[in-house]
Amino acid sequence: MASEEPLTGAQIIAEALVAQNVKYMFGIVGIPVIEIAVAAQVAGIKYVGMRNEQAACYAASAVGYLTGRPAVCLVVSGPGLIHALGGMANSNMNCWPVIILGGSSDSNQETMGAFQEFPQVESCRLYSKFSARPSSLEAIPSVVEKAVRTSMYGRPGACYIDIPGDFVNKMIDRSAVRFPECCLPRPIGLADSSEIQKAVAALISAQNPLIIVGKGAAFSRAEDSIRRLVDECGLPFLPTPMGKGVVPDNHPLCVAAARSSALKNADVILLLGARLNWILHFGLSPRFRPDVKIIQVDICAEELGNNVKPAASLLGDVNAVTQQLLERLQKMSWKYPTNSAWWNSLREKVKANEETSKELASGTSVPMNYYTAFRYVKEALPNDCIIVSEGANTMDIGRTVLQNLHPRHRLDAGTFGTMGVGLGFAIAAAMVLKYEAPEKRVVCVEGDSAFGFSGMEVETICRYNLPIVIIVVNNNGIYSGFDEDSWADMLEAGDPASIAPPVSLKPNAHYEQVMMAFGGKGYFVRTPEELQQALYSSFSDKNVPSLINVMIDPQSDRKQQEFPWLTRSNL
């Protein structure tokens, strides 16, 4: 009698992932996970080898946000897993689904001081929704199914699977392994009808209503229903950074340019998939009216009532709950008057702030300021590109200037304010577009400090020939820096470790040469004309990655704002 087909642990892992419709894997291989990556490729999963585990985890989590299903971050034991913890924490804070597969010491060497032995399952519980070590090869598919399902259900997040090194090449007959069917799509919850009634009553009685659109709305694919709510009810809306594009930024009812004024004066706020954390100043005075009524829509029950007592708590999927609200409002034929005093004040504020930004961008001096540089970037960007952005001023100013017209087309430092995510996110977006929308481009706008966190991923970009355009807005420092002459004078005065400000970086660093070293195109630009030419060349060639190093005034800063982005001022 012929023997059953044998399977290795690596093959079981790969087939279990395919059964759960996992399509992408990012990681760095080594003992004991090399065979897992190979098996994943054989099974049809796209594998991208990264240069740092943090960046690999950032990339895998971004795929979860962009597609709605988790990707895998594959890491080696001990230090490899520890490096990925930053990405796990970032994913959990952003509420993005991701699976981390970590190799670990052999099961018969536990507690003996094995190579890179570390309490991985216990450590990952702090950074994930689910953390487990399969007890046998037969148990692997069930653990994989539970991890994938848990990463998507409820509030999405990270899940960890620990793989003992001796499991990878251990063999078992296929007949002994049961592969669960693909888990069902995440359940769609509806809000309680009495809370819907409370929410509608608050909205129609509002003098100064406002919708805030968060990235939770983007994740739930709520763009059509929210667009209808905005259009049919005539309500002003304000997107959070990654809520941009759910309703296009150029929509006439968008009040992003009057953000501070809108938040400070709204009397009823409909909060769609956004949290009242630091990004929204906790929903508290003086950023908000002390008597503001907030209608919270969230998939997570524990989030409802956080920092404020809501006027209505709508627990459920953002898309489904928005449709509930819309149906109730349609029956009432209610629409907020667009000629109200509230609308007039918002329009005036939007116009005034846009004029200020235009004036800042109209300068012709060299070196350029942020607004001048972003003016030319904005003019060159394709309308449907995915914009990745990180940095301090670079990210914040870019958020106000660079428009998103489509949902899930902006990725940034997010809820955790994580620096170093940019290139990992860009690689993830480019991989997804490569197979789902190859005509689109990815543009990664980085501060020079932010670029330094994961700059070696440029080699990854070139190795996989991903036509990403990286724009480094270079002010020679964190927040601000020095010009070359001032830096030279300071070095003459003494030891830089003793006197150089901690925010300073090396002036005129040629980051574009990193891209050129691996076969991409690099541009070092100082003037608007050079920037325009570099942008034209980069977007004209859809087959080669490029990096544009844009030198701006080291002392350039954002315009004075009514309220700083953080609750307390930056340096």
Q: How far apart are CA 436 and CA 446, in angstroms?
A: 25
Helix (H) or strand (E) holding 139: none
Q: How many CB atoms lie within 10 A of CB 186?
A: 18
Q: What is the pLDDT of residue 116?
A: 79
DSSP letter for each residue of 9-66: HHHHHHHHHHHTT--EEEE---TTTHHHHHHHHHHT-EEEE-SSHHHHHHHHHHHHHH
**Helix (H/G/I), strand (E/B), else coil: 135:** coil
- Contact assessment for residue 42 and residue 25, using Cβ atoms and an 8 Å cutoff: no
What's the angle, vertex CA 273, arms to CA 269 and CA 278, rounded to 5? 75
Helix (H) or strand (E) holding 470: strand 469-474
What are the CA-CA distances from residue 110 to residues 74, 75, 139, 310, 442 (Å)? 21, 19, 19, 49, 44
Q: Residue 242 gets which letter from DSSP? A: G
- Contact assessment for residue 67 and residue 432, using Cβ atoms and an 8 Å cutoff: yes
Q: What is the pLDDT of residue 558?
A: 57
Q: What is the pLDDT of residue 567?
A: 43
What's the pTM value of the predicted model, to 2 decimals? 0.95
Q: What is the pLDDT of residue 106?
A: 87
Q: How many CB atoms lie within 10 A of CB 532?
A: 15
Q: What is the pLDDT of residue 559?
A: 54
- pLDDT tens, the chain, 571 aa long: 345 789 999 999 999 999 999 999 999 999 999 999 999 999 999 999 999 999 999 999 999 999 999 999 999 999 999 999 999 999 999 999 999 999 998 888 788 787 778 889 999 999 999 999 999 999 999 999 999 999 999 999 999 999 999 999 999 999 999 999 999 999 999 999 999 999 999 999 999 999 999 999 999 999 999 999 999 999 999 999 999 999 999 999 999 999 999 999 999 999 999 999 999 999 999 999 999 999 999 999 999 999 999 999 999 999 999 999 999 999 999 999 989 999 999 999 999 999 999 999 988 889 999 999 999 999 999 999 999 999 989 999 999 999 999 999 999 999 999 999 999 999 999 999 999 999 999 999 999 999 999 999 999 999 999 999 999 999 999 988 999 888 888 888 888 888 888 999 999 999 999 999 999 999 999 999 999 999 999 999 889 999 999 999 998 875 544 334 444 433 3
Residues in the chain: 571
Q: What is the pLDDT of residue 495?
A: 87
Smallest CA-to-CA distance from 271 within 250, 297, 234 is with 297
Q: How far apart are CA 61 and CA 328, in angstroms?
A: 36
Q: Residue 506 gets which letter from DSSP? A: -
- Contact assessment for residue 15 and residue 22, using Cβ atoms and an 8 Å cutoff: no
Rg (CA), the chain: 25
Phi, psi of 274 (to 5 degrees): -130, 150
Instruction: Tell me how far the alpha carbon of residue 539 is from its chain's centroid.
Output: 23
- Contact assessment for residue 404 and residue 387, using Cβ atoms and an 8 Å cutoff: yes
Buried b (16+ CB within 10 A) or exposed e, 20-59: bebbbbbbbbeebbebbbebbeebebbbbebbbbbbbbbb
Q: Which residues, at least 6 apart from 187, have a Cβ–Cβ distance to it below 8 Å?
A: 153
Pair of tokens at residue 336: 């907020």
Residue with tokens 């018969």: 108
Helix (H) or strand (E) holding 530: helix 528-540
Q: How far apart are CA 401 and CA 395, in angstroms?
A: 10
What's the angle, vertex CA 376, arms to CA 398 and CA 530, rounded to 5? 125
Q: How far apart are CA 120 and CA 118, in angstroms?
A: 5
